[in-house]
Structure 1
């Protein structure tokens, strides 16, 4: 504009509505978009017609009819969340979604504790694909109604569903169950009520079970009789043993297998899964320092899973023998993590450096390794591009510098142990890259003690205020 022209004109008036909606979609946060909708009536109308995602505070005073029906006719993904100190939406608000949001594809409910099973009996969302509920009070009857009225449902996530504990295990299989591909279960009591649903989900590809009660050995046996297309399985802190793992071994298409803190699982179960699921590409085993999974289970992986790309071992105590077999039997491993092990030392790192020729990323945490292990890494693993070493007392800055000199241009993250931090020996974190090296300032013993005293005082003062 000419400096002499004093006429002011809104240049966005020349921008078509479609282009303005595209600009709104590129905003970084929902708050920015809400503020833009208050600029003028035109911006409000464009934002309303192009808003596909919405997250609302689902209190009892939520005016659902005016917000959802009139302002957001194109809404396809809706999140309703409430906090502990407020009354959540009643059943009538949820029932109105059938007429107000006919195009709804994804629905998420969080802490809507005042919704009962009756709210789902008349709910009709035929296009619903994803449903998630956490910290709610409805039970199996509501889930039955939801599955019956949502024939296109593919993803079901249930967390801390309190009503499920009071209901008898009466969840039946409907037409929607045959289309389910992803099921996520977390912190459920009386989770065996979902056994018929799992057994009837013939197209199930992903199953996650975290801290759920029930005999999961029997549930997995019943489910894998017909469900053989599992691709991802995550079991954490649930009652499952070798019997359940033998049922998992029927799923030959399994690619991702996470077994975390299940003390009843042993080498026999892990070896059985490896023998039955030869296409495994990502494996994570957390033995919880129980010493029930070790060299025998890892040898089973080495003999059967040649396509393995990622291996994470936490709380296990493998030896150089099993690590060497893994390196030879799984030549394509690119990511390896060894955490919380009492047997991973310099000799084992030397075996990793010599056998894992395709390794690109390595993480070693809480293991008794020293600078000699860093030297072995400097001479091996030709494809290595990133190394993380954390909480390893025997590794010093000299070992890191040696690895840096022999691996120019490689990224290296390093953290000293807490005792070394107190004495102020060296830096707390070191990152080595192509262009720069960030080194944290060295703390003397006196400065470190003063800093810790100040932090303790702040924590105590904050606790007193909250009390």
Structure 2
């Protein structure tokens, strides 16, 4: 009798090999699906997971999982009730030390920790449990307790975790004077730090000059340093040449340096009609920049967002190109004179030929020819962000797109006077099939004008190639340019689709789209502007900004979210209305309150097939009110496909109950991720008991997955 061979399956592989295969999977949902195959797969997946974010309620000690023994990165910042200290009296009557011990037993190998530390007590309890911590991120959007002694938030961490190498305070509200004394008091630990992130977005003034000197002197081995400060010379403790030179002298090993003015954190959009120059110049000289760059030979990423004029910077940037050959990412804010763009000789920033990411913000004298020179010199650019450059037009951006057509995949164009939505998309049309991430401003202009921006490729033929470019490379570029010129001249004789764009063009690789739009404007013209064909778009971020109190009632019923149904793979949305300001309960006669504006923004969202939604409600600044309204709750409850809903504000308990009948809902959370987060919940909004009741009801449902 013949033996029929049985085909081998993945189950026949030894567990050692399967464990290696599982360890290469990083996507959380993919791992979760894998664990549903069989018990063996479930055990192996749990045993190989190294990163975990706990999302349960701190009172439920018995639900802490104990099958993730290999986890090294643990995120406790999302425990509910969100924003409360671990097992604080407001959240539970249990002993916080008991929770800390249970966490240590469940996750014995933790070396990286993220925790919401509303009070110093959280770190006093957690830090002794993992003395081997190397990476710590602290989160706090609530105000720092006024009575708390200086440095009290950091002493427990520095006392118990002697192996600490990374400290991230970018989402942690504290006082700038808290940190320097602690670093001085712990010289051994300070010298072991290699990354220090002090870009705290809730700061209004940032670190002063003497504080930055103290920090860099205490941490000479830093490789990554991010700090918020003020460059305005009218303020006490401003940053100038002396501070920059001190950073370079004290921390010569830096590979990543971000120095940003706190005013750059404000999300409000600038005025495109502004001339681009500030009233005051920064106290940063050309000689100071040259010495600064000369001391940072290992630099790979640099951000100088100054928000004050830095003039004639081209020569200093040439020194940056020579002295920092490893530089790959550069962001400059309020730098003028980036390149002369005279003749065919490259100069200024165009000599930074190793750059892969470039962000230029508020450069008043940057023109089309300067942008083209940058494209010629920085031929490896994959990421380009341009903000507030009024001298750039469709011609310059379109030429840049052709020169960088093989590399550029991430583009952001914002607050540029001559580049509205249609003009930006026209300029990027030659590389639309390559772009993966895109940001534009929804400034519609005249969408019916089919005239501008199509025949501007004559400029390309006049660009002389640089002597440093290989002849074969140059010949390839010339052929590519001729091809583009031929194609577009042919297209000029074809018929349009009615709005001035060719309907055959598709944004095939676009996965992420970010939009800015003024309050009262409509989103629906987006497809008319040229983004009607995005077959792989998965995520969209929409930022709505403006003062509703100055706007009349919109003529249309809805903002236009329903127009996004043309994107078949769109599953994730961030709807950011936190910079939309209006009346909560005090709207004068004839004016809309915020609940009616929310109805306008969210109408039509129910027909989208979203898996995840992040929503920032608009606010009334007079009372620091950022709360979900009844119309908003009702409209979001119509999104029956939603799995995750995060509301960055407060809500009434009975509004949250609207979300319980939704069949696919897995995770709902209220977060006050804005400063200042609400200190005391009102009697009718979500409190600790309300959150617990809602979570119990949500988790008691049967979930078919």
> For 2:507 and 2:98, how far apart are their aligned partners in 1?
59
SS of alignment partner, residue 396 of structure 2: helix
1:275: how far off?
A: 3.3
* Among 384, 394, 398, the residue aligned to 2:418: 394
Contact 2:169–2:198 under 8 Å retained in 1:
no
* Among 449, 455, 459, the residue aligned to 2:601: 459
Equivalent positions of 1:391-430 (< 5 A) are 391=414, 392-394=416-418, 418-421=442-445, 423-425=447-449, 426=499
Q: Residue 78 of structure 1 aligns with which residue?
A: 74
Shift in alpha-carbon separation, 1:83–1:44, aligned structure 2, 3 A? same
Shift in alpha-carbon separation, 1:150–1:224, aligned structure 2, 3 A? closer
Q: Residue 303 of structure 1 aligns with which residue?
A: 319
User: Is the counterpart of residue 92 in structure 1 residue 93 in structure 2?
Assistant: no
Q: Residue 248 of structure 1 aligns with which residue?
A: 247
SS of alignment partner, residue 344 of structure 1: coil
Q: Residue 132 of structure 1 aligns with which residue?
A: 137
Shift in alpha-carbon separation, 1:228–1:434, aligned structure 2, 3 A? same
> For 2:48 and 2:436, how far apart are their aligned partners in 1?
45
1:222: how far off?
A: 3.0
> For 2:386 and 2:15, how far apart are their aligned partners in 1?
53
1:254: how far off?
A: 2.7
User: Is the counterpart of residue 155 in structure 1 residue 297 in structure 2?
Assistant: no
Equivalent positions of 1:226-245 (< 5 A) are 227-237=219-229, 240-242=238-240, 243-245=242-244
1:209: how far off?
A: 1.4
> For 1:327 and 1:207, how far apart are their aligned partners in 2?
28
SS of alignment partner, residue 151 of structure 1: coil
> For 1:429 and 1:236, how far apart are their aligned partners in 2?
45
Tell which deviates more after alignment, 369-378 or 454-463. 454-463
Q: Residue 28 of structure 2 aligns with which residue?
A: 29
Q: Residue 318 of structure 1 aligns with which residue?
A: 337
1:63: how far off?
A: 1.9
SS of alignment partner, residue 252 of structure 1: coil
List runs of 5+ in structure 1 lacking aligned partners: 1-10, 166-187
Give deviations 1:187-228, integer Å, cap 9, x for gaps: x67334444268642243333212357754223323444644
- TM-score scaled to structure 1, two decimals? 0.68
Contact 1:282–1:309 under 8 Å retained in 2:
yes
Tell which deviates more after alignment, 432-441 or 269-278. 432-441
Q: Residue 110 of structure 1 aligns with which residue?
A: 116
> For 1:31 and 1:304, how far apart are their aligned partners in 2?
43
User: Is the counterpart of residue 59 in structure 1 residue 47 in structure 2?
Assistant: no
Shift in alpha-carbon separation, 1:315–1:55, aligned structure 2, 3 A? same
1:23: how far off?
A: 6.5
> For 1:32 and 1:61, how far apart are their aligned partners in 2?
27
* Among 303, 306, 310, the residue aligned to 1:287: 306
Structure richer in helix, relative to its length: 1
Give deviations 1:64-115, integer Å, cap 9, x for gaps: 6x845x6444444333232346773323211444555443323332357594
Shift in alpha-carbon separation, 1:37–1:156, aligned structure 2, 3 A? farther
1:261: how far off?
A: 1.9
User: Is the counterpart of residue 257 in structure 1 residue 257 in structure 2?
Assistant: yes
Q: Residue 393 of structure 2 aligns with which residue?
A: 370
Q: Residue 359 of structure 2 aligns with which residue?
A: 337
Identify the structure with bigger relative contact order (alpha carbons < 8 Å, sequence gap 6+): 2
User: Is the counterpart of residue 275 in structure 1 residue 318 in structure 2?
Assistant: no
List runs of 5+ in structure 2 lacking aligned partners: 1-8, 88-95, 231-236, 264-280, 450-498, 512-524, 531-553, 562-596, 604-627, 632-650, 653-705
Contact 2:34–2:42 under 8 Å retained in 1:
no
SS of alignment partner, residue 147 of structure 1: helix
Q: Residue 191 of structure 1 aligns with which residue?
A: 179
User: Is the counterpart of residue 442 in structure 1 residue 442 in structure 2?
Assistant: no
